[in-house]
């Protein structure tokens, strides 16, 4: 019985370590990456607009990482297997047909588009 308690404590500790590691990655590492990308962009271009674009892009990526599960779930709700689109039937709408007449060029077939 003691072995089961030790195993359960090890699993609980591993889970707590994973939660802390995720918080470290999404908090500290992402903020450092955003700051570094903005600084590198500023140094290369000397443009406030480009540095602001790098900042906005980094923040958008950070938001996507923080809300990845919500994005995953919303895609599952929006795109349904089998689709909800109506079936395609003949005569549904107008069609455009382009006819190309062969011209006597030097190429096989002699067609010029």
d(CA 51, CA 38): 5
Write out the residue range of the structural domain in which residue 19 sits. Answer: 2-78
Query: Does residue 66 lie within any of the structural domains?
Result: yes
**How would DSSP label each residue in 31-45?**
HHHHHHHHHHHHHHH
pLDDT score for 73 = 73
Answer positive or negative: Cα dihedral of 97, 102, 103, 108: positive
What pLDDT score does 22 carry?
85
Q: What is the DSSP string of 48-102?
A: HHHHHHHHHHHHHHHHHHHTHHHHHHHHHHHS-TT-SPPPP-TTSS---------
Are 103 and 112 a contacting pair, CB within 8 Å?
yes
Q: Has residue 92 been placed in a domain?
A: no
Look at the chain and report how many structural domains it folds into: 1
> Is this structure's pTM higher than 0.75?
no
Q: Is residue 37 part of a domain?
A: yes
CA distance linking residue 79 with residue 103, whole number of Å: 48
Q: What is the pLDDT along the chain (113 residues), one digit of tens a residue?
A: 667 777 788 888 999 999 999 888 878 888 898 999 999 999 999 999 999 999 999 999 888 888 888 877 776 555 555 555 555 555 566 666 777 766 666 655 555 55
The pLDDT, as a whole number, for residue 83 is 55
Establish if 98 belongs to a structural domain: no
Residue 84 lies in a domain: no
Instruction: Name the token pair of 53.
Output: 């674009």
Q: What's the pLDDT score for residue 5? A: 73
């Amino acid at each position: 019985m003691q072995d089961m308690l030790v195993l359960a404590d090890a699993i609980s500790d591993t889970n707590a370590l994973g939660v802390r590691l995720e918080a470290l990655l999404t908090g500290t590492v992402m903020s450092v990456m955003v700051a570094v990308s903005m600084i590198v962009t500023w140094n290369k271009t000397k443009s406030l607009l480009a540095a602001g674009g790098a900042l906005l892009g980094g923040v958008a990526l950070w938001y996507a990482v923080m809300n990845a599960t919500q994005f995953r779930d919303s895609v599952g709700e929006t795109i349904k297997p089998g689709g909800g689109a109506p079936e395609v039937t003949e005569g549904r709408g107008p069609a455009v047909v382009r006819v190309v007449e062969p011209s006597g060029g030097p190429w096989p077939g002699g067609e010029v588009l």
